[in-house]
Amino acid sequence: MADVAPQRDAARVLVTGGSRGIGRAIAISLARDGYDVTLNYHRREDAAEAVLAEIRSFGGAAAALAFDVSDREACAKAIVADLDARGPYFGAVLNAGVTADGPFPGLTNEDWDRVLRTNLDGFYNVLHPLVMPMVRARAGGRIVTISSAAGTTGNRGQVNYSASKAGLIGATKSLALELAKRQITVNCVSPGWIETDMLAGADATQLAALVPLRRLGTPEDVAAAVSFLFSTGAAYITGQVLAVNGGVL
């Protein structure tokens, strides 16, 4: 897949699950902010190409990188090859995630394992090969994980998803403490109900009525929070969970 021509000296940022939904909005927002974005995708090359074309349309810098975040060996192979070719990243956004909802007694082994492997193991699989090159670059950095309200309050029918997202928050807070002295901030954005494929089939009007702001969130709402955490104005913020949920407590 062809790269968009990189901007001179643009800091590199990896966005996992960057071809659709929230990840797409984040990739575009960070590219508009001047970052050289590498968007990860798994199967939808056509969707990734569309995001690259949109970024190219306003002169942004971007590339695409295919791998499955739940596959540790594939992650390491793709990321290490990318680092060897283009150098270290300044930041990363861990957005890729899956659901397999259902009452706990009905969850299969695969329902549990696939969600945990993607949403939680993906944290290790993606960041482990990235962190030391970031540290050695001595340029600071930004890491943002995308959790969920389900990770802080729980949700019926989502024991597996809630467990993975709660674990992601704990991992984020711990890594923030480890990397703080390197001026690498690590924060979490926790979306509420956002208009994406994950809400397909849900009653949007009914859900919006439960939100103090009386609307569902958009992928751009989440992307704006991520862009803030990547900004110079957020340099003194680390180890935090930023809820983007329209005021739901």
Give me the active site residues, please: 161
Find out whether 141 and 91 touch, Cβ atoms under 8 Å. Answer: yes
CA separation for the pair 62, 207 (Å, rounded): 35
Q: What are phi and psi of 231, to 5 degrees?
A: -80, 165
- The per-residue b/e assignment along 185-216, b for 16 or more CB within 10 angstroms, e otherwise, is bbbbbbbbbbbbebeeeeeeeeebeebeeeeb
The 8-class DSSP code of residue 202 comes to S
SS3 label, residue 216:
coil
Find out whether 64 and 14 touch, Cβ atoms under 8 Å. Answer: no
With CA atoms as reference, report the closest residue to 53 among 12, 24, 13.
24
